[in-house]
Amino acid sequence: MSIEVRGINKRFGATVVCDNVDLDIPSGELVALLGPSGSGKTTLLRIIAGLEVPDSGTVLFQGQDATSADVCKRRVGFVFQHYALFGHMTIFENVAFGLRVRPRATRPDEAQIRKKVTELLKLVQLDWIADRFPHQLSGGQRQRIALARALAVEPEVLLLDEPFGALDARVRKELRRWLRRLHDEMNVTSVFVTHDQEEAMEVADRIVVMNHGRIEQDGPPDEVYDHPATPFVLQFLGDVNIFHGRLGQPAGQGGDVSFVRPHELDIVAAAVPGSIVATLVQALTVGPNTRLEFRRDDDQAYVDVEMPRTDWQALRERLGLATGSKVHLLPRRLTRFSADDFDPAAMI
């Protein structure tokens, strides 16, 4: 089922949380709403779910206006950040809940419920804890049950609100992969909210970057990373160095702001057009990569460079580099925005 969002506006008191948001989500896609706190992503998700009412605008499911449809009739599944499992019911009853509360006419009988619940528990690989209670489960297990519960009613849309936010880093990584695989198998239109750009890039078919209630960019992960539409998107997805003015000229001149990602800077032996002179301050090797901190000679600004550790080791040998060495840095790729588009306050 496709989702169309048209002109959604929402404010809480004096704060505008959603500012004229338009969005299209084709059927079967897995979309991430990515942004910092306060960007409006969770509110938008809840409006799609029917948990919040927009001040104006519409939500269409498969072309039908669903904006004023009752929450319990929308055929959406919702997974909460803190699971919201029913603590007084067993896992089995939690998953069966959506089936049990169906009106008598459409309610499946006990055998059908049992079959469906067992099927779902097998799908999330937790069929062995059907008789336990939520408080006996770990965070990761609870979230998988929450997902099974949402899927039990065969929703046409699956909405997830920071589903892995409350979990440990390792569990988060596992569940991310697992969610991707699940989506590939079931092909339900899914939208999930996250503030973690790594998560968005790893899991989603498309990323919708939001900031201050507005959509900054909407596209596949590669496109959003490599061809950011605004400085905010560039800076939010991955690390970036910011240069004011044109490279090679003193800072503050010229109306442009340039951005270079740390792994897109080369260290060269001699000056070339477009390069800058900098002094090595620190070299930190973390895992597979080395992060180098340089200080520009002209305006003393810091520049970060990143490269695989083996590359750094080879380079260090070849050029005899150590703390305090002067080098030339050459950006392989520059993204430039005019100073008007660049709002430092919007950066985090």
Partner 1 sequence: MSAASASEKAPRRIDEATSEPAWVRRLLIGIALAFLAVFLFVPLVAVFVEALKKGLDVYLAAISEPDAVSAIKLTLIAAGISVPLNLVFGVAAAWAIAKFDFRGKNVLLTLIDLPFSVSPVIAGLVFVLVFGLQGWFGEWLRDHDLKIIFALPGIVIATIFITFPFVARELIPLMQAQGNEQEEAARVLGAGGWQIFRRITLPNVKWALLYGVILCNARAMGEFGAVSVVSGHIRGQTNTMPLHIEILYNEYQFAAAFAVASLLAFLALVTLALKYWVERNAASRRQVAASVEAVPT
Partner 2 sequence: MLLSRALLKRHSVLPGFDLALGFTLLYLSFFILVPLSAAFLKTFTMTWPAFWSAVSAPRVVASYKLTFGASFLAALVNAFFGLIVCWVLVRYDFFGKRFVDALVDLPFALPTAVAGIALTALYSGNGWIGRWLPFKVSFTPVGVWVALTFIGLPFVVRTLQPVLEDLQKEVEEAAAILGATRWQTFTRVILPILAPALLTGFALAFARAIGEYGSVIFIAGNLPMISEITPLLIITKLEQFDVPGATAIAVVMLVAAFLMLLAINALQAWTRARQGR
The reply to whether 12 sits near partner 1 by the rule CB under 8 A is: yes
CB of 102 to partner 2, least distance (A): 6
CB of 88 to partner 2, least distance (A): 4
The reply to whether 82 sits near partner 2 by the rule CB under 8 A is: yes
Q: Binding partner 1 by CB under 8 A: which of 38, 108, 219, 245?
A: 38
Distance CA 72, CA 74 (A): 6
Nearer to partner 2 (CB atom), residue 87 or residue 308: 87
The reply to whether 77 sits near partner 2 by the rule CB under 8 A is: yes
Q: Binding partner 2 by CB under 8 A: which of 10, 144, 149, 261?
A: 149
Q: Which amino acid is located at 24 in the chain?
A: D
> Tokens 């060269």 correspond to what residue?
268
| Residue 277 token pair | 């002179």
Q: In the sheet where 15-25 sits, what is the strand order? A: 15-25, 3-12, 56-61, 64-65
Q: Binding partner 2 by CB under 8 A: which of 5, 42, 48, 50?
A: 50
Nearer to partner 2 (CB atom), residue 89 or residue 321: 89
The reply to whether 335 sits near partner 1 by the rule CB under 8 A is: no
The reply to whether 333 sits near partner 2 by the rule CB under 8 A is: no
Q: Binding partner 2 by CB under 8 A: which of 76, 113, 233, 247?
A: 76
Considering only the stretches 80-88, 186-194, 273-281, 320-328, report the one whose residues sit in contact with partner 2 under the rule CB under 8 A. 80-88
The reply to whether 310 sits near partner 2 by the rule CB under 8 A is: no
Nearer to partner 2 (CB atom), residue 154 or residue 198: 154
> Tokens 């991430």 correspond to what residue?
32
Binder of residue 144, out of partner 2, partner 1, none (CB less than 5 to 8 A by kind): none
CB of 38 to partner 1, least distance (A): 5
In terms of Cα–Cα distance, which of 178, 164, 80, 85 is closest to 132? 85
The reply to whether 82 sits near partner 1 by the rule CB under 8 A is: no
CB of 118 to partner 2, least distance (A): 18
The reply to whether 53 sits near partner 1 by the rule CB under 8 A is: yes
Nearer to partner 2 (CB atom), residue 102 or residue 318: 102
The reply to whether 7 sits near partner 1 by the rule CB under 8 A is: yes
Distance CA 255, CA 337 (A): 9
Distance CA 44, CA 39 (A): 10
Nearer to partner 1 (CB atom), residue 66 or residue 148: 66
The reply to whether 178 sits near partner 2 by the rule CB under 8 A is: no
Considering only the stretches 20-28, 87-95, 114-122, 167-175, report the one whose residues sit in contact with partner 2 under the rule CB under 8 A. 87-95
Site string for partner 2, 121-140 (x = CB under 8 A): ------------xxxx----
Nearer to partner 1 (CB atom), residue 208 or residue 240: 208
Q: Which amino acid is located at 289 in the chain?
A: N
Chain residues in the site for partner 2 (CB under 8 A) = 49-51, 71-74, 76-78, 80, 82, 84-89, 97-98, 100-102, 133-136, 149-150, 152-153
